[in-house]
Amino acid sequence: MTQQQQEDPYEGKVLVFQCRACFNIVGDSTFWVTSHRDLRTISLSRATQVEIIEQAIETSKAGVDEGCTYRIFRCAYDACHILLGRKYITTTASLDLMRDVWSFSADAVVTYIVGSAETPISEGLDCQAQIRRLYDVQMMVLQTKADTTEEIQRIDEEVQQIGRRLVSLEGLMKKYLQKEGARSEIQNNGVNHSEGQRHAWKAIQE
């Protein structure tokens, strides 16, 4: 089946696309370009909170997009990072509209219509499964916070140790300066004593 070069099927309505795992908003239908039934993709000219995975360009080996080159992009939310779709670099003529845009896998996103006041639901994913997904994401967030707290505590302990070492060094420096001061005073007294002896001897000679 050829690419469906169609207008937004939700004309007059704004459709919001969210990451299926963490519900992070990744785009909306105001940037709708096209969709493809066989590839199960929705293509947007602009996306948000997504990032290209730094890797070599891949080439599709089979299917409708065989021979097309692309990079994979994922959710940019730190506790998620699930794969969301492909950004095609080169395409066949029939997939020309999908080049240089964000083609989301329909299985990787959930949607809702702005103003519908409905909870976004993933097709084929029951409520309990969605709750489990949300729970997993929350656990990852909590673990990230815990790791951050431990790191802050470790840094704080190191700073305190450095502070104690500085206090110790300051004490040693004071002792050193006191010793140097005492030594200098002794030397000065010795010089003054010798000078006094020379003056006394000179007076006797006169």
| pLDDT, tens only, 163-204 | 778 778 777 787 777 777 666 665 665 555 555 555 555 555
Q: Which of 80, 78, 93, 1 is nearest to 41 (CA)?
A: 1
Distance CA 140, CA 147 (A): 10
Domain ranges (residues) in the chain: 15-119, 126-189
What's the Cα-to-Cα distance from 8 to each of 44, 78, 84, 93, 121, rounded to whole Å?
11, 31, 20, 21, 20
Does the domain at 15-119 match CATH 2.170.150.20? Answer given as: yes
pLDDT of residue 164: 79
Task: Identify the DSSP state of 59.
Answer: E
Q: Cβ contacts of residue 101 below 8 Å, gap of 6+?
A: 33, 43, 44, 45, 87, 88
pTM, to two decimals: 0.54
CB 105 within 8 A of CB 85: yes
Using pLDDT thresholds of 50, 70 and 90, give the confidence band for residue 125. Answer: very low
pLDDT of residue 197: 59
Q: Give pLDDT tens digits for 141-169.
A: 555 556 666 767 777 787 788 877 877 87
Question: What are 151's two structure tokens?
Answer: 């790191």
